[in-house]
Amino acid sequence: MLSIARQTLDALSVLIGDNLFCLGDKPSSLDATVYAFLAEAILVDLDNDFTRLARQYSNLNDYCQRIQQQYFAG
């Protein structure tokens, strides 16, 4: 399972790269899906193999934090 997760996270990390969103500077419906997947691993208060793996990707962490602050900050 972690092998599949690593492949998925690697692909997402490359897709997002240094962009603000998946497809560039503006959010798309793809971002809604990607954020939902990543937030479960990066933003939750859990510590397991999957969350530790996901948190190793600095650009994915930045991506989640940016979307969280922009759209869900209260």
Taking only the tens place, the pLDDT of each residue in 18-74 is 999 999 999 999 999 999 999 999 999 999 999 999 999 999 999 999 999 999 987
pLDDT of residue 22: 97
pLDDT of residue 47: 97
Q: Specify the DSSP element, H or E, that contains 8.
A: helix 2-16
Which sign does the torsion angle of CA 54, 57, 58, 61 carry? negative
The closest of 47, 37, 7 to 63, measured between CA atoms, is: 37
How far apart (Å, rounded) are the C-alpha atoms in residues 23 and 20? Answer: 8
pTM greater than the 0.75 cutoff: yes
Q: Where in the chain are the domains?
A: 2-72
pLDDT of residue 73: 84
Contacts of 6 (CB under 8 A, 6+ apart): 53
